C-alpha cells in the first residue's frame, strides 16, 4: 500500500493503462479484460488488474492534470514496479486536418510548466514518448483502420485558459491537440527508465468548436484502449 494506492504488493501489473477518469478505468477493465479485479479505490481513484489475451494489465485512473497524474505515476513506478505506462484520454484538436474521434499518438508534449519544472530549472526539457511503444501503437492503429495522427501535443496547466494566444502559438507550430497530463508522464518515465506513451481521442475541436456527442464517447474511447493494449503487447 502507498499513500494513494491501496493495492497489495504484486496486485499491480507491469503494464498500466491510465485514463484520467476513474469510471473509464472501470469501464475499460470490464470491457476489455478478463478476470478484472478492483485493486484500488482510495479517494475513489479506481484501479483494476486483469488479463488481456493472457497478459497481465492494470487500468488505473490518473485524475485530471499533471499534479494528480504525478502522484499515481510516481507510486505505480517507484512502489509497484510499473514498467510500461500508457495514458488513454481525450484531447482538444488544434489543427484543421484533425477531426473529432480521430486518434492522436503523442510523440512529444509541450508545456508552460510541469511538476518537474523545479528540477529542470532553466532547461526546456523535451518530454517524449517511448519509441517502441509509439511504433507499436501506430501499427495497431493502422491495422484497425482508425484515423490517426502522430506528432506533438500540448499538456496545458489549466482547462479554463485565459491565454488564447498560447493556443494560437501551438497551432502555428503544428501541435495536434491539447490535454493536461502527458508531459509529466513522459518526464517521470524518462527519469525512472520505464516506457510511456499517450494515446488520445479527439473529444472537441478548439478551431471549429465541434464536440463529440456524449453517446459516442464510449465507442471512440474503445478504439483507443485497443490501440494501447496492442501497443503494449504487440506479439499478442
Ligand atoms: N483542453 C484541455 N484538456 C482537454 C481539452 C481541452 O480543450 N479537451 C480534452 N482535454
Binding site membership of 159 for ligand 1 (Cβ less than 6 Å): yes
In a domain, 150, yes or no: yes
Ligand 1, atom 10, lies closest to the CA of 91
What value does the mean pLDDT take over residues 118-132?
Answer: 98
pLDDT at 214: 80
Q: What's the 166 CA to ligand 1 centre distance in angstroms? A: 14
The residue to mutate among 89, 179, 212, having the most atoms of ligand 1 within 8 angstroms of its beta carbon, is: 179
Give which of 103, 102, 13 is closest to 60, Cα–Cα: 13
What value does the mean pLDDT take over residues 170-183?
Answer: 98
Q: Which atom of ligand 1 is nearest to the CA of 156?
A: 2
Binding site membership of 133 for ligand 1 (Cβ less than 6 Å): no
User: How far, in Å, CA of 44 to CA of 137, rounded?
Assistant: 29
What value does the mean pLDDT take over residues 117-137?
Answer: 98
Question: Into how many domains does the chain fold?
Answer: 1
In a domain, 135, yes or no: yes
In a domain, 2, yes or no: no
CATH number at residue 81: 3.40.50.1580
pLDDT at 218: 78
Give which of 194, 200, 196, 178 is closest to 186, Cα–Cα: 196
Q: Over 90: is that where the pLDDT of 223 sits?
A: yes
Residue 210: other Cβ atoms inside 10 A: 14
pTM: 0.98
In a domain, 181, yes or no: yes
Q: Domain range spanning residue 102?
A: 15-232
Q: Over 90: is that where the pLDDT of 216 sits?
A: no
Percent of the chain with pLDDT over 90: 97
Q: What's the 55 CA to ligand 1 centre distance in angstroms? A: 31
- Computed over every residue of the chain, the mean pLDDT equals 97
Grid coordinates representing 9 are 504488493
| 91 three-class SS | strand
In a domain, 5, yes or no: no
The residue to mutate among 21, 89, 91, having the most atoms of ligand 1 within 8 angstroms of its beta carbon, is: 91
Cα Dmax for the chain: 48
In a domain, 212, yes or no: yes
In a domain, 105, yes or no: yes
In a domain, 200, yes or no: yes
User: How far, in Å, CA of 207 to CA of 193, rounded?
Assistant: 37
Helix, strand, coil shares of the chain as percentages rounded to 5?
Answer: 35, 30, 35
Q: What's the 9 CA to ligand 1 centre distance in angstroms? A: 34
Q: Over 90: is that where the pLDDT of 220 sits?
A: no
User: How far, in Å, CA of 111 to CA of 208, rounded?
Assistant: 23
User: How far, in Å, CA of 67 to CA of 214, rounded?
Assistant: 27
Inter-residue contact 12 to 3 (CB < 8 Å):
no
User: How far, in Å, CA of 129 to CA of 107, rounded?
Assistant: 5
Q: What's the 177 CA to ligand 1 centre distance in angstroms? A: 8
Binding site membership of 90 for ligand 1 (Cβ less than 6 Å): yes
Q: Tens of pLDDT along 144-153?
A: 999 999 999 9
Q: Tens of pLDDT along 29-68?
A: 999 999 999 999 999 999 999 999 999 999 999 999 999 9
Amino acid at each position: 500500500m502507498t499513500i494513494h494506492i491501496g493495492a497489495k504488493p504484486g496486485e499491480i501489473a507491469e503494464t498500466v493503462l491510465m485514463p484520467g477518469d476513474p469510471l473509464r478505468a472501470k469501464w475499460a477493465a470490464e470491457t476489455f479484460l478478463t478476470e478484472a479485479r478492483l485493486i484500488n479505490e482510495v479517494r475513489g481513484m479506481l484501479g483494476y488488474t486483469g488479463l488481456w489475451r493472457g497478459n497481465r494489465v492494470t487500468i488505473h485512473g490518473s485524475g485530471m492534470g499533471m499534479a494528480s497524474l504525478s502522484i499515481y505515476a510516481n507510486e505505480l513506478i517507484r512502489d509497484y514496479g510499473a514498467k510500461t505506462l500508457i495514458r488513454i484520454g481525450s484531447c482538444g484538436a488544434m489543427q484543421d486536418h484533425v477531426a473529432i474521434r480521430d486518434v492522436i499518438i503523442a510523440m512529444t508534449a509541450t508545456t508552460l510548466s510541469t511538476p518537474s519544472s523545479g528540477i529542470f530549472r532553466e532547461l526546456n526539457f523535451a518530454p517524449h514518448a517511448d519509441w517502441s511503444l509509439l511504433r507499436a501503437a501506430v501499427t495497431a492503429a493502422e491495422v484497425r483502420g482508425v484515423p490517426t495522427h502522430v506528432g506533438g501535443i500540448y499538456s496545458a496547466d489549466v482547462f479554463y485558459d485565459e491565454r488564447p494566444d498560447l493556443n494560437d502559438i501551438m497551432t502555428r507550430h503544428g501541435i495536434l491537440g491539447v490535454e493536461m497530463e502527458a508531459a509529466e508522464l513522459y518526464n517521470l518515465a524518462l527519469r525512472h527508465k520505464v516506457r510511456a506513451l499517450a494515446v488520445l481521442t479527439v473529444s472537441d475541436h478548439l478551431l471549429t468548436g465541434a464536440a463529440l456527442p456524449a453517446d459516442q464517447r464510449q465507442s471512440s474511447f474503445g478504439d483507443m484502449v485497443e490501440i494501447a493494449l496492442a501497443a503494449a503487447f504487440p506479439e499478442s
